[in-house]
Amino acid sequence: MTFPVRAITLDLDDTLWPIAPAIDRAEAALDAWLARRLPHAAGFWTREERNRLRALVDRERPELAHDMTAQRQWMLERMLQASGADAALAEDAFEAYFAARCEVEHYADSVPALERLAARVPLAALSNGNACLRRIGLIHLFRFQLGAREHGAAKPDPGIFHAACAQLGRAPGEVLHVGDDVEMDVVGAHRAGLRSCWLNRDGRAWPRHDVRPDLEFADLAALADWLDALPSHRIRPAA
């Protein structure tokens, strides 16, 4: 299938890098911070207890559902309060966690493919997560990064897709959204009027009958190959 592509928006977690190792590193960094700064509380605030606190966020602060940074900060403040510690330490604890969360390990194809894509069309990051492309070192390949936290609503809400299209200066039908998540990325993009590409690294079967992605690839290199093969009049070069 071919169609015009004037810009591309990309999901981040589990699209450009696997999220699980990054979260494991972040939790380990928080364990180390607790052991160093609050040794009396470290034994209680295990990862299991932190997971229970994470579930409490959903119940007590549903308005933070789109904001993973605010969720984590709320959790840390509750942990410090329960431990009798200075709440001002929450900023330091979050930095320990977040710095490690941004130590991602890219899929082998990601960076070379992004460089190829960025040479052809404008790229924008569109994520529900809170990874920072500036810290990660990829922001130079993107026109901008738009997160659910900044926008005020998460994918699959059509508003975040439309906001990205507006910032790119393109109609939704001229923008291709790329991501791994069936509902958040493919269905969300489809309902917002964008073209969609399902990045199916695990070789899963498409689970829905009512909506299908416009494209499906096993990695970003295959998407870059597809874009390279498009007739030049169907691509607007990145300026």
Question: Which domains, and CATH codes, for the chain?
Answer: 7-17+106-234 (3.40.50.1000), 20-101 (1.20.120.1600)
**pLDDT above 60 (res 236):** no
> pLDDT tens across 73-105, in order?
999 999 998 888 888 899 999 999 999 999 999
Prior bond to 237 cis, omega within 30? no
Mean pLDDT of 108-117: 98
- What was the pLDDT predicted at 58? 87
> pLDDT tens across 98-109, in order?
999 999 999 999
11 carries an active-site annotation: yes
pLDDT bin (cut points 50, 70, 90) of residue 16 is very high
Mean model confidence pLDDT for the chain? 94
**pLDDT above 80 (res 232):** no
Which residues have a Cβ under 8 Å from the Cβ of 24 and sit 6 or more positions away? none
Percent pLDDT > 70 in the chain is: 97
144 within 8 A of 124, measured Cβ to Cβ: yes
Which residues have a Cβ under 8 Å from the Cβ of 46 and sit 6 or more positions away? none
- What was the pLDDT predicted at 234? 56
- What was the pLDDT predicted at 239? 42
- What was the pLDDT predicted at 99? 97
**pLDDT above 80 (res 37):** yes
Q: What is the 3-state secondary structure (H, E, C) of the chain?
A: CCCCECEEEECCECCCECHHHHHHHHHHHHHHHHHHHCHHHHCCCCHHHHHHHHHHHHHHCHHHCCCHHHHHHHHHHHHHHHCCCCCCHHHHHHHHHHHHHCCCCCCCCHHHHHHHHHCCCCEEEEECCCCCHHHHCCHHHCCEEEEHHHHCCCCCCHHHHHHHHHHHCCCHHHEEEEECCHHHHHHHHHHHCCEEEEECCCCCCCCCCCCCCCEEECCHHHHHHHHHHCCHHHECCCC
Active-site residue among 11, 13, 14, 185?
A: 11
pTM above 0.85, yes or no: yes
Please provide the size of the chain in residues: 239
- CA quadruple 99, 107, 13, 201: dihedral, nearest 10: -160
- What was the pLDDT predicted at 237? 45
The values of phi and psi at residue 172, to 5°, are -50, -40
Token reading at 43: 């034994």
CA distance 239 to 237: 6
Q: Which of 194-203, 207-216, 225-234 has the lowest mean pLDDT?
A: 225-234
Cα angle, residue 62 at apex, residues 18 and 74 outer, rounded to 5°: 70
> pLDDT tens across 127-176, in order?
999 999 999 999 999 999 999 999 999 999 999 999 999 999 999 999 99
